[in-house]
Chain A
Amino acid sequence: NAGVTQTPKFQVLKTGQSMTLQCAQDMNHNSMYWYRQDPGMGLRLIYYSASEGTTDKGEVPNGYNVSRLNKREFSLRLESAAPSQTSVYFCASSELPPRGNSPLHFGNGTRLTVT
């Protein structure tokens, strides 16, 4: 049982390049999330999708776009990467909107460096 799978694990981009971070879950969860983790900043919510067909902005959405491709997959796109987007990106999913006994399940992250 793979859980939440993120690809790639590592990526180096030059300023201005674009890329898509992929995330897939095999737990039949309805809700999916993208977070970024920066030193001293904790986990910050970029975008989320409460159910298939819906997406909403989180705390730090600028510079990103998302696509909920189907129930399993939720991708994060950087159209024009900037050094400030150097971070570790985590995808997560939950069975229901995460209230109490429906916790988030996280992937192992994508470490992105923008030079």
Chain B
Amino acid sequence: DQQVKQNSPSLSVQEGRISILNCDYTNSMFDYFLWYKKYPAEGPTFLISISSIKDKNEDGRFTVFLNKSAKHLSLHIVPSQPGDSAVYFCAASEGDKIIFGKGTRLHILP
């Protein structure tokens, strides 16, 4: 039973526009939510996180929004750049464990 769901396997966005990646979760006990970025042949790298008691966190071009009532979070990247082309994983933590979604492949088009 998947607790963290990324329902879009891929997304294409024009360079300079906004990229919006979505994530849904089922476990109301998750206390932090995180986004990781992964390039081919490398390990994932941490991007940004948000506590379950907040609804927004911003870091440069990256903003994460959390809607607890809908059990939904999203990552906004503005403006999108070619180096943003990667697989993005949504993750959620409960205690000592982090559970990941299946990932969304983002293609930034020239």
A residues within 8 Å of B by Cβ? 4, 31, 33, 35, 40-45, 48, 50, 56, 58-59, 90, 92, 97-101, 103-109
Q: List 22 A-B contacts (CB under 8 A).
A: A33-B98, A40-B9, A42-B6, A42-B101, A43-B91, A45-B100, A50-B96, A90-B44, A97-B96, A98-B34, A98-B93, A100-B32, A100-B49, A100-B93, A101-B49, A103-B49, A104-B44, A104-B98, A105-B46, A106-B43, A106-B44, A109-B43
Q: How many Å from the CB of A38 to the closest CB on chain B?
A: 10
- Given A33-B98, A45-B97, A108 contacting B42 (CB threshold 8 A): yes
- Given A42-B100, A58-B97, A107 contacting B34 (CB threshold 8 A): no
Q: Is the CB of A99 within 8 A of B32?
A: yes
Q: How many Å from the CB of B10 to the closest CB on chain A?
A: 12
Complex Cα gap A44–B31 (Å): 19
Name the residue of chain A whose CB is nearest to the CB of B34: A103
Q: How many residues of B contact A (CB 8 A)?
A: 26
Q: Is the CB of B100 within 8 A of A35?
A: yes
Complex Cα gap A99–B97 (Å): 9
Complex Cα gap A27–B91 (Å): 22
Q: Is the CB of B31 within 8 A of A43?
A: no
Chain B contacts for A99, CB-based, 8 A: 31-32, 93
Q: Is the CB of B43 within 8 A of A90?
A: yes
Q: Is the CB of B43 within 8 A of A92?
A: yes
Name the residue of chain B whose CB is nearest to the CB of A58: B97
- Given A42-B89, A98-B93, A103-B34, A4 contacting B43 (CB threshold 8 A): yes
Q: Is the CB of A43 within 8 A of B49?
A: no
Complex Cα gap A75–B97 (Å): 18
Complex Cα gap A33–B103 (Å): 19
Name the residue of chain B whose CB is nearest to the CB of A90: B43
Interface residues in B3-21 by Cβ distance below 8 A to A read 6, 9
Q: Is the CB of A108 within 8 A of B96?
A: no
Chain B contacts for A40, CB-based, 8 A: 9, 102
Complex Cα gap A31–B93 (Å): 13
